[in-house]
């Protein structure tokens, strides 16, 4: 990347990730779909917890299974909060992201857990083993669901193979808000992806500087949703940040072929062109946008600021 390209980078408009730390607002479904026999991930590792450290142990289980090289001691340092004698979902999500895995929060349904198991991915769940007025929060990992024996099998606490009747599991899970999460490799999609939730998870990877992982995520999303602009916009931003303005330009132009009024892509394309030495072409893109009669005042101000900055930087380089 040229020095000019670096100078232009801070003005690129980025995607903003929404929070993914709470359970999804959908109606819980207690069934297991058309599952006729047990589904399981037998190779799920087991890490017995120390006192109050079920969060690090459960997270270690899913990260290890996904191929992350870490240690339980390291995860304890990352996610265990001594003052709370436990871990919050936000810490588990942030730690998953730090290891360049995609923390994807599932729908509030047992069927969603089953779908991930069918893809050979264990699922981290939060339970309340107490009551609503005297909670005992506990993280565990579901590695099997058996509709015949009507049990959920978990790596839980000191138990490598804890069997819990499905109604009991659902009750403890419900008291914890039906929260569950899987750790995806960057090029993987969840079994039944919610588009906006997945986009938010990948955007969060990008925002926290895991650009190569985010790029793989955007590539997977672009293949799955080929007529959607968000993955292409993410691909363009990560390409430019990783030092490939040519690939960034191609992706921004792909966004604009799908939506010519995507002003964020138009803005960023102008910066990429200017950073690559094509200042006249960059100004032409902005002037064409500014000539649009339906351009909102907010976007008009943004694009005019971009135009002035490009002119200023051009004058400074003369």
pLDDT in tens, 188-218: 999 999 999 999 999 999 999 999 999 999 9
User: Domain 3-15+210-317 belongs to what architecture?
Assistant: Alpha Horseshoe (1.25)
Q: Is the pLDDT of residue 4 over 90?
A: no
The three-state DSSP-derived secondary structure of the chain is CCHHHHHHHHHCCCCCCCCCCCCCCCCCECCCCCCCCCEECCCCCCCCCCCCCHHHHHHHHHHHHCCCCCCHHHHHHHHCECCCCECCHHHHHHHHHHCCCEEEECCCEHHHHHHHHHCCCCEEEEEECCCCCCCCEEEEEEEEEECCCCEEEEEECCEEEEEEEHHHHHHHHHCCCCCEEEEECCCCCCCCCCHHHHHHHHHHHHHCCCHHHHHHHHHHHHHHCCCCHHHHHHHHHHHHHCCCHHHHHHHHHHHHHHCCCCHHHHHHHHHHHHHCCCHHHHHHHHHHHHCCCCCCHHHHHHHHHHHHHHHHHHHHHC
* pLDDT value, residue 78: 80
* pLDDT value, residue 112: 96
The topology (CATH level 3) of 39-184 is Cathepsin B; Chain A (3.90.70)
* pLDDT value, residue 21: 39
Model confidence, pTM:
0.87
Q: Is the pLDDT of residue 13 over 80?
A: no
Domain boundaries, given as residue ranges, for the chain: 3-15+210-317, 39-184
- Please, what is the average pLDDT of the chain? 88
Percent of the chain with pLDDT over 70: 86
pLDDT in tens, 63-114: 999 999 998 888 888 886 665 666 778 889 999 999 999 999 999 999 999 9
How would residue 313 be classed by pLDDT, with cut points 50, 70 and 90? Answer: confident
């Amino acid at each position: 990347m040229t020095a000019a390209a670096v100078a232009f980078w801070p003005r690129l408009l980025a995607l903003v990730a929404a929070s993914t730390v709470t359970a999804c607002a959908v109606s819980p479904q207690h069934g297991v779909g058309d599952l006729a026999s047990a589904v399981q991930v037998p190779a799920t590792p087991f890490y017995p917890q120390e006192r109050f450290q079920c969060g690090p142990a459960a997270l270690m289980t899913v990260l290890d299974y996904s191929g992350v090289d870490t240690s339980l001691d390291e995860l304890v340092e990352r996610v265990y909060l001594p003052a709370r004698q436990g871990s919050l979902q936000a810490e588990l999500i942030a730690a998953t992201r730090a290891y360049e895995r995609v923390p994807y929060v599932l729908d509030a349904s047992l069927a969603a857990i089953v779908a991930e198991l069918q893809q050979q991915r264990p699922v981290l769940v939060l339970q309340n083993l107490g009551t609503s007025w005297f909670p005992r929060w506990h993280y565990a990992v579901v590695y099997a669901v058996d509709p015949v024996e009507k049990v959920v099998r978990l790596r839980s606490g000191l138990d490598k193979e804890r069997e819990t009747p499905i109604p009991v599991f659902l009750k403890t899970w419900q008291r914890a808000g039906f929260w569950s999460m899987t750790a995806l490799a960057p090029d993987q999609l969840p079994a039944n992806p919610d588009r906006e939730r997945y986009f938010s998870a990948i955007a969060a990877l990008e925002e926290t500087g895991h650009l190569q992982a985010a790029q793989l995520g955007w590539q997977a999303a672009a293949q799955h949703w080929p007529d959607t602009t968000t993955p292409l916009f993410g691909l363009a931003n990560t390409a430019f940040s990783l030092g490939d303005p040519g690939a960034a330009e191609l992706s921004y132009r792909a966004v604009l072929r799908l939506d010519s009024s995507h002003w964020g892509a138009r803005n960023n394309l102008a910066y990429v062109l200017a950073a690559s030495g094509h200042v006249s072409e960059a100004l032409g893109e902005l002037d064409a946008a500014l000539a649009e009669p339906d351009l909102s005042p907010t976007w008009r101000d943004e694009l005019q600021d971009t135009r002035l900055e490009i002119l200023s930087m051009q004058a400074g380089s003369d």
